[in-house]
Chain A
Amino acid sequence: MTAWLQHLPVLPIIVPLLAGASLLFFAESRRWPRLLIMLFATLVQLGAAITMVWLTTDSVPDVWSRGIGVYAIGGWHAPFGIVLVVDRLSALMIAVNVTLAMAVTVYSIGRWDRMGVHYHSLLQFLLMGLNGAFLTGDLFNLFVFFEILLTASYALLLHGGGPQRTKMALHFIAVNLTASFAFLIGVAMIYSVAGTLNMAEIAWKWRLMPSDERGIAQAGAAILGIAFLVKAAAWPLNFWLPGAYHAAGAPVAAIFAITTKVGVYALLRAGSLLEDPSAPFGGAWLFYLAIATMIFGIVGMLASRQLPRLVSFVVILSSGTILAAVGSGAPSMIAAALYYMLGSVFATAAFFMLTGMAERLRAALPGVRDRAATPPPTYTAFAVGEPPDPYAPDDEVGVALPAAMAFLGQSRGDRPGCVITDLRMPVVDGRARAVDRTCWVRISVVASLDRAQAAVVAGSGRTAARRRSYHHPRRWCCAPWGRDRAPGTLRTAGRRRPLLRAQNRSATRGR
């Protein structure tokens, strides 16, 4: 049993690789075998991820010493071979990633996986890259997994085709390739001084480094940090993000919600290696950069006229929040930010998927195609300048889930950030206490912002139908189409067919 558990860390990399490759042997028309392979592979990864989370807790101290699993690939030992390292953070990130991938897979069965070829394979390769980036203990191997996930994401961004997607993919690829070069330069400079690429050994060598060589290593670390900040969408390196995420299909954008967090994770992980987390990895200026990112995200949210674009700015805002916590540097703050990251990844992903559904409904209905004429979604969410709607009484939207942050709870509460207070950990000295208090105030502001996002989702569902003012949404879904037939739908007996036909038409037109 324990012998088998030793091989557990490599499963989240091997399984998607094999699944993605084996999916290529089935033609696109053979849907069921493909879906079965896909779901089975994702389930295996989910099982592995949950087991790893369990093994890194304190409940089983004898499997991995101190809850950190190390796997030497090919049996080559640490400084010479590449190692995978599982600690609580990486296990947790993989669990989040695979859970999200499961939801995205199920969501895309409905429509998206048929809009182009090799969707499921690409998704599995993206998972492989993400899982590998979370697991690896080698700096250059991190680059390789970054490239795997980026290459898969380029192809996924193009999934569905169209001039808009192609144009945005062009920008996305150019920016990310340049960032990859910065990554390589940073890694090479660190290697030239430290003489190793193993992360643990770099951390050890860093402490022994003579001061005249340390300058080169710090310059390398700074360049490396710039590459991570591009991926983490920190201002001013994030102008590629809104357009790309807006152009991507809904499930693709949903899984992209975690690819920006890989940048944050890498920043955190590489920053923990340095003795003096200077320049991009921490300190005051990362904090202010993150605040600028948050402001950019908020202003962008308020100014967006299309829902997918608004959600892209939510991604930037959530990145900025976590970076601010990393920049403030207090361990309790980082723990809270990582907890926020869980809720935030799922929230933005769900937001993207809901937006995809709302856009679909909107495209299927007549009279609302002129998107430029519609007010920003934030207006409609708070019903600015709209008559009261008799069908949507001002009741609470959503059900509060216990311990779920930000999004999954009620969208209208009276105590913002009440969950986050429990996250604070015991602080050591007075200075840390002060930092802690200011940060907690900051997070509670963010929590209420997140509630605004939730209200936008709830609101957009309601008001999309309300502004249409043709019928109540329930009627669109449930009324027999013979009576009250909507203009623009086809004369068909089935209940859902007219809507679907209209979608198909709009989809081909969009192409």
Chain B
Amino acid sequence: MEVILTLGIGVLTASGVWLLLRPRTFQVIMGLSLLSYAVSLFIFCMGRLAIDVPPVITGDGRVDASQFADPVPQALVLTAIVIGFATTALFLVVILAARGMTGTDHVDGQERDS
């Protein structure tokens, strides 16, 4: 499972960075989205991977921590997703405005050879 997750994060990050460096605004926003997925998965796996264990600690007295998943990274991922979603939406609006104002979808607002 570790290998699959690591490969997934790596592929997502690599594609994200490659798209981020492309000249079209749509590619940039896709790259940012892929990067945000990669970052979310990365934060998630930083709380150690565990299968079939709940993050909510129940019972009282002594609790065996190995029987529970770490809830903090899950909360962090949730926050990061919400913030990333909002900023991506904002970025999308700016991209649409730039497309409307400059008439091109190049990130510099003009084609390279014009």
List the interface of chain A (C-beta within 8 A of B).
140, 144, 147, 150-151, 154-155, 158, 162-163, 166-167, 169-171, 173-174, 177-178, 180-181, 184-185, 187-189, 191-192, 197
Contacts and interface: CB of A to CB of B under 8 A. Distances in A.
Interface residues of B, number: 32
B79 interface: yes
B47 interface: yes
Nearest to A80: B72
B50 interface: no
B43 A188 contact: yes
B26 to A, nearest CB: 12
B90 to A, nearest CB: 6
Q: List the 4 closest A-B pairs by CB distance, nearest first.
A: A192-B46, A188-B46, A163-B101, A167-B109
B83 A191 contact: no
B90 A191 contact: no
Nearest to B101: A163
Interface of B: 20, 25, 28, 32, 35-36, 39, 42-43, 46-48, 72-73, 76, 79-80, 83, 86-88, 90-91, 94-95, 97-98, 101-102, 107-109
11 contacts: A151-B86, A166-B97, A174-B91, A177-B91, A180-B87, A184-B39, A185-B43, A187-B76, A188-B73, A188-B76, A197-B72
Nearest to A155: B90
A170 B24 CA distance: 12
B43 A167 contact: no
B72 A191 contact: yes
A169 B28 CA distance: 14
Given A185-B42, A191-B46, A174 B101 contact: no
A239 to B, nearest CB: 13
Given A178-B32, A185-B39, A158 B94 contact: yes
Query: Chain B interface secondary structure, helix, strand, loop or mixed?
Result: helix
A273 to B, nearest CB: 18
Contact of A144 (B83, B98, B102, B107): B83
Given A163-B109, A170-B107, A191 B98 contact: no
B58 to A, nearest CB: 17
Given A178-B20, A197-B72, A173 B87 contact: yes
Contact of B36 (A140, A147, A166, A181): A181
Given A166-B98, A174-B32, A189-B46, A140 B76 contact: yes
A110 B109 CA distance: 31
Contacts of B97: 158, 166
B95 A170 contact: yes
Nearest to B28: A174
Contacts of B88: 177
Contacts of B91: 170, 173-174, 177
A147 B87 contact: yes
Nearest to B29: A174
A154 B83 contact: no
Contacts of A170: 25, 91, 94-95, 98, 107
A147 B83 contact: yes
A191 B109 CA distance: 40
B90 A167 contact: no
Contacts of A163: 98, 101-102, 109
A150 B87 CA distance: 9
